[in-house]
Amino acid sequence: MLIVLSGIETFHKKFFAREIIAALNTFEYEGYTIDFSRTNIAISKDDTLLYKLPDDQHPNGVRTLLLNPKDGSSNTAGKAVLDAAQEMQVAVFNEGVRNSHYHNVFCDPLHDLGLTPESEKIGPDAPSRLYVHDHSYDTLLQNYQNRTFENFVITGIFSKCFIEKLKTDIGADNVLVLNILRHPSVAFLLNEKEPSYYHLKKPDLSRTPEMDARKLEASILNASIIKEMPGVITFKFEDILRDGKFTVMGKDIPLPPNYDRSNNWLTWWEQKNIVLKKIVTDAQLAEFNSKYSNFEPMMEILLHTDPAAQQQALDTFNAEYNANISMETMLESLGDKTGMAFRTAKKCLPFFNAINGSSVTIEQYDNIFPINTFEKLEYEPLTYDEVIKLS
């Protein structure tokens, strides 16, 4: 089974993937059973627990595996089993989960909404961006086909068109889609970062404030779309946080470590380390809530002050996109505000159509937008005080 874990940013899909893999697969080595739940290694044989690090149920841990029963000396054979388990943990739960995370490269909500004729992001020729590992569709399929355990998990933001293609390529019965929602207002508070965060990161396409904002936007819009797909199982993070678990394929999946609940919306870690720093102002949150209550796609357009520069830019655009937009249409679309500015796709529809190879009319656009994403996701906007209120 290929389990596709999608959803709204900030609940950390890779941490959840580890728990899903641990719960839905059986890992064995030379007759020993190894449990990797909650990032801890538990080794047993014939239903007898032989090794585990300290936890709530075993305050002193269990080290029977590493000791000879006769004299309590070091058990070399037991140490070899533990070494094999630790290697498996690295291969499957660290490197494997990392290499099965696909950011938002297979996400195209505008195509899902019928605004673009085809998605260049989906399929064997999809571009593999400059990430740590290969993000191509073919590699994703190869990783699934070459898996060493039954229930394989991929994480990221996955569009309806991607899911449909995946089901066609490997069979619908072999694909299970999980869509975990999170309150958009809370996600926005958690998604914003201090400038020092980006200074510490190696600059790339996924490590800029603009890309973080686009990923959050794509995840919110995408989650509201695939939520309506038949067969997609949708959870709310807030319910999982309350219950401490969620159920997939009849098995309870525990919350990852350090997800202790602070209130209806946050973990204690998030409350103390992110939200209380108040990186986001009340005004910024109000602006976000307003935008996503009446969501429209935006385009960042540069309009030159000088008429000659305007004409040159328009000629370059028409040549690049094989378009025939007149100066009159451009000025009508972009208005008289010069410089770099965001405008709705509706305002810039001739440019939107040229860039995307589409032919969307105003009437078609108005049948889709604006979208109240809060309503689609069954939430109400929250203020900062409502988010941090302890319950």
Clarify whether residues 12 and 66 are in a common domain: no
Out of 241, 273, 291, a domain closes at 291
- The answer to whether residues 57 and 151 belong to one domain is no
Q: Could you tell me the CA-to-CA distances from 321 to 225, 269, 351, 377 in Å, in that order?
A: 29, 48, 9, 36
37 and 180 housed in the same domain? no
Cα(33)–Cα(85) distance, rounded to whole angstroms? 10
Nearest-angstrom CA–CA distance, 218 and 237: 18
For residues 350 and 173, what is the distance between their CA atoms, to the nearest angstrom?
Answer: 41
Cβ count near 73 (within 10 Å): 10
Q: Which long-range contacts (CB under 8 A, 24 or more apart) does 58-64 make?
A: none
Q: Is 320 helix (H, G, I), strand (E, B) or coil?
A: helix
Model pTM above 0.85: yes
One domain for residues 121 and 70: no
In a domain, 12, yes or no: yes
The DSSP string of 345-376 is TTTTHHHHHHHHT----HHHHHHH-SB-HHHH
- Domain-located, residue 224: yes
Question: Which conformational region is residue 156 in: left (phi greater than 0), alpha (psi within -120 to 50 degrees), or beta?
Answer: left
Say if 390 falls within a structural domain.
no
Q: Are residues 242 and 330 both part of a single domain?
A: no
| Count of domains observed in the chain | 3
Pair 73, 128 in one domain: no
135 and 269 belong to one structural domain: yes
Of 291, 308, 328, the last residue of a domain is 291
255 shares its domain with 284: yes
32 and 15 together in one domain: no
Specify whether the CB–CB gap between 343 and 332 falls below 8 A. no
Residue 376 included in any domain: no
315: containing domain: 296-369
In a domain, 120, yes or no: yes
pLDDT in tens, the chain (391 residues): 999 999 999 999 999 999 999 999 999 999 999 999 987 899 999 999 999 988 888 888 999 999 988 788 888 999 999 999 999 999 999 999 999 999 888 999 999 999 988 776 665 555 555 566 777 888 899 999 999 999 999 999 999 999 999 999 999 999 999 999 999 999 999 998 877 776 665 555 557 888 888 899 999 999 999 999 999 999 999 999 999 999 999 999 999 999 999 999 999 999 998 988 889 999 999 999 999 999 999 988 877 888 898 899 999 999 999 999 999 888 888 776 677 778 899 999 999 999 999 999 999 999 999 999 999 999 999 999 999 987 5
* CATH, residue 118: 3.40.50
Query: In this structure, is residue 253 part of a structural domain?
Result: yes
Are residue 170 and residue 122 in the same domain, yes or no?
A: yes
Task: List all residues 6 or more positions away from 105 whose beta carbon is below 8 Å from its beta carbon.
Answer: 121, 126, 127, 128, 129, 135, 156
CA 266-226-121 angle, to 5 degrees, is: 105
| 147 and 236 belong to one structural domain | yes
| Same-domain status, 142 and 127 | yes
Instruction: Report the candidate in 81, 378, 107, 95 with the shortest Cα–Cα distance to residue 219.
Output: 107
Q: Which residue among 291, 323, 345 closes a domain?
A: 291
Q: Is residue 391 part of a domain?
A: no
Q: Is residue 76 part of a domain?
A: yes
The reported pLDDT for the residue numbered 220 is 98
